[in-house]
Amino acid sequence: MPRIGVFVCWCGSNIGGVLDCPELARVAGSFPGVVFSTDYKYVCSDPGQNLIVESIRKHGLDRVVVASCSPRLHEETFRQALRRAGLNPYFLEMANLREHCSWVHPDAQEAAQRKAIDLVRRAVAKAALLEPLSPGRIPVIKRCLVIGGGIAGIQAALDVADAGLEVLLVEREPTIGGNMVKLDKTFPTLDCSACISTPKMVAVAQHPGIKLYTYAEVEEVSGYIGNFKVRIRQKARYVDHSKCTGCGTCWTKCPTSVPDEFNMGLGERAAIYIPFPQAVPNKPVIDAAHCRQLIKGKCGICAKHCPAEAIDYKQRDEVFEVEVGAIVVATGFGLFQWEKVYGEYGYGRYPDVITGLAFERLVNAAGPTGGKIQRPSDGKEPKTVVFIQCVGSRDEAKGKEYCSRVCCMYTAKHAHQVLEKIPGAQVYVFYIDVRTFGKGYEEFYRRVQDEGAVYIRGRVSKVYQDGTKLIVRGADTLLGEPVEIAADMVVLATGVVPSAGAQDVARMIGVSVDKDGFFQEAHPKLRPVETHTGGIFLAGACQGPKDIPDTVSQASGAGGKVCALLLKDELETSPMVARVNEALCTGCLACREVCPYRAIQAVTITERLPGQPPRERVVARVTEGLCQGCGSCTVACRAGAVDLKGFTNEQLLAEVDALCL
């Protein structure tokens, strides 16, 4: 028979103000197995913990029930107390009298008291059946994978590598730099985006601890915290980078030209190209979809002109595997595809209606116009420019309910740039609310208004082409009037969405995404960098729309988390994981189907029953490093062969009985 001790906490007046704690302790004393019960003002305090330790020793307790607050808050505290007293820390059970009772029933004291008694009875019933548990230990591979080479991935890679750990940075584009390096200036300080991001790109390339894989994709991830196996595909570049000197002869000779993605289609590039002059690595790839030699087998001009003989049309994709201990996901963002749903703005058929990112390229000195703001249709300088905010943000009807966070500020910056570069320009900004949450942001918005940008509070209902003008029909809701502007150019503040393919990455690494497709953090406030899968961390806009400072902060946070993990030699795993009783398991693998962490594998065992020949049989087995203890498998198991340690079926049924019988 176990010897259970019950400790009822007042939590000052939080519990004590509603419940009669001494009475609760008295009643608990009568429950089966309870040999000692008491109440105390703050059980979590030092004297409170000492009370537990001393009582264990004095009364020979071997199970402890603390009736106080949520286990989320102090379970670990009390486990340590048990450990100090020489008990297995998992001989602890908690009853949540605060969040589950006193806080929610302050006006029904009598009923609350009855409920509290039930809660304690339940905890005592379970405590009687607790088993000693001990955490497992797993080794840690001291190497980190970073998926995505935008500013988030770059920052995380640098931080981890600077701590002396090995980093693999995988980027699917031919260069790192991501979206940030496309930007012209950054708000609110107006420093040049390329000037502050290209040195970081170079630092990545030169860092001895970072292995950079551009034009490569992660294809498969298996394993668990500390021990991931990753398969990476290096796409064929058709250029041998060990020979290539990046001299640039090839792309000047290439006869093909295609719309340039880096310049948002506003310029053109060759089929063999580097995305922009400061690309890292500064060596070209061949775009196989457009190369004449690769499509038709006729051309070969680049190979003919290459002085280093680096062109290799026969190059194939290479696939290789690496082991890493931690993964940082930094897949970034893409732009909302406004052309598909904003018919009222022309479905993209008016050339002078452009996105904010296209505007960045137009105004950039390294962009297709050399930094002159010109209309894509006729190359003329626009005199009247209209900015429309919240295109694909805060628009339930277009399927995007959230605020993209950065558009108010980048639009203000664009307004400033038009007014700075085009003398006598008229700038109108249609907005619903201007959100300037960051340091120096509101001041910048004020400054742009001082410079002459006219802010109009209202959404635009329609844009249509009338001759060379774009007629913009909006409303000034502050005046209560519709307004119409004949504009030369319209810039849409298109919202931020997860980058293309982010969903596939999520599926591949077994991390969930939110309703908008952004990666789901473990806790929106207290664990914004972790995911629900141990060892996988998030950085930047893949987790939600963010500006550069927030992205960099989160990336450094992720880097710190990775270091904290990888600087250990071994990991302690939670003992509260599922366990399969192989004798009962029928091998149906329903558990594997429902497991959200892919922690269950099918294994073949050889069964030797007395008097029968040995027989091979498939059973389920739990990989403890992956199991997060959610319990889905125990529900799915029809044979009752799976149990969750710390929450066994027997323990749960005892709790139910204690509550219901």
- 457 near another protein, judged by CB under 8 A: yes
- 460 near another protein, judged by CB under 8 A: yes
Q: How far is the CB of 398 from another protein (least distance, A)?
A: 7
Cβ neighbours around 108 below 10 Å, total: 12
Q: How far is the CB of 572 from another protein (least distance, A)?
A: 48
For another protein, the closer CB: 316 or 349: 349
If you search the block for the tokens 């310029």, which residue do you land on?
267
- 344 near another protein, judged by CB under 8 A: yes
**Could you give the CA distance from residue 364 to residue 360 in angstroms, rounded to a whole number?**
6
Q: How far is the CB of 463 from another protein (least distance, A)?
A: 9
- 353 near another protein, judged by CB under 8 A: no
**Could you give the CA distance from residue 429 to residue 459 in angstroms, rounded to a whole number?**
10
For another protein, the closer CB: 388 or 566: 388
- 79 near another protein, judged by CB under 8 A: no
- 495 near another protein, judged by CB under 8 A: no
**Structural element, H or E, at residue 573:** strand 570-573
For another protein, the closer CB: 485 or 539: 485
- 476 near another protein, judged by CB under 8 A: yes
Contacts of another protein in 256-315 (CB under 8 A): none
Q: How far is the CB of 348 from another protein (least distance, A)?
A: 11
If you search the block for the tokens 């059946």, which residue do you land on?
129
Cβ neighbours around 257 below 10 Å, total: 13
- 320 near another protein, judged by CB under 8 A: no
- 462 near another protein, judged by CB under 8 A: yes
For another protein, the closer CB: 461 or 512: 461
Q: How far is the CB of 515 from another protein (least distance, A)?
A: 16
For another protein, the closer CB: 289 or 397: 397
Angle between helices 151-162 and 193-206 (to 10 degrees): 40
- 465 near another protein, judged by CB under 8 A: yes
The stretch near another protein (CB under 8 A) out of 1-9, 131-139, 266-274, 478-486 is 478-486
Using alpha carbons, list the distances in angstroms from residue 411 to 67, 375, 382, 453, 528: 54, 18, 16, 11, 27
Are 120 and 28 in contact, with CB atoms under 8 Å apart? Answer: yes
The stretch near another protein (CB under 8 A) out of 310-318, 343-351, 511-519, 588-596 is 343-351
Q: How far is the CB of 51 from another protein (least distance, A)?
A: 52
**Could you give the CA distance from residue 111 to residue 118 in angstroms, rounded to a whole number?**
11
- 348 near another protein, judged by CB under 8 A: no
Report residue 497 as tokens.
């969405």
Beta bridge partners of 462: 473
**Could you give the CA distance from residue 271 to residue 313 in angstroms, rounded to a whole number?**
13
Total residues interacting with another protein, rule: CB under 8 A: 33
Are 169 and 146 in contact, with CB atoms under 8 Å apart? Answer: yes
Contacts of another protein in 385-444 (CB under 8 A): 390, 394-398, 432-433
- 343 near another protein, judged by CB under 8 A: yes
- 515 near another protein, judged by CB under 8 A: no
- 72 near another protein, judged by CB under 8 A: no
* Of the candidate residues 79, 435, 459, 579, the single one contacting another protein (CB under 8 A): 459
- 352 near another protein, judged by CB under 8 A: no
For another protein, the closer CB: 348 or 371: 348
Cβ neighbours around 110 below 10 Å, total: 9
Q: How far is the CB of 377 from another protein (least distance, A)?
A: 14
Q: What is the 3-state secondary structure (H, E, C) of 267-295?
A: CEECCEECCCCCCCCCCCEECCCCCHHHH
Q: How far is the CB of 459 from another protein (least distance, A)?
A: 4
Query: Which residues lie closer than 8 Å to 656 by C-beta, 6 or more apart?
Result: none
Cα radius of gyration rounded to whole Å, the chain = 31
Nearest to 174 by CA among 96, 75, 241: 241
**Could you give the CA distance from residue 536 to residue 558 in angstroms, rounded to a whole number?**
9
Cβ neighbours around 609 below 10 Å, total: 8
For another protein, the closer CB: 95 or 472: 472
- 347 near another protein, judged by CB under 8 A: yes
Using alpha carbons, list the distances in angstroms from residue 188 to 209, 408, 515, 549, 580: 33, 11, 31, 11, 57
- 461 near another protein, judged by CB under 8 A: yes
For another protein, the closer CB: 99 or 433: 433
* Of the candidate residues 86, 480, 610, 614, the single one contacting another protein (CB under 8 A): 480
- 231 near another protein, judged by CB under 8 A: no
β-strands 191-192, 143-147: how paired?
unpaired
- 349 near another protein, judged by CB under 8 A: yes
Give the interface with another protein as residue ranges (CB under 8 A). Answer: 343-344, 346-347, 349, 390, 394-398, 432-433, 457-462, 464-467, 471, 473-477, 480-483
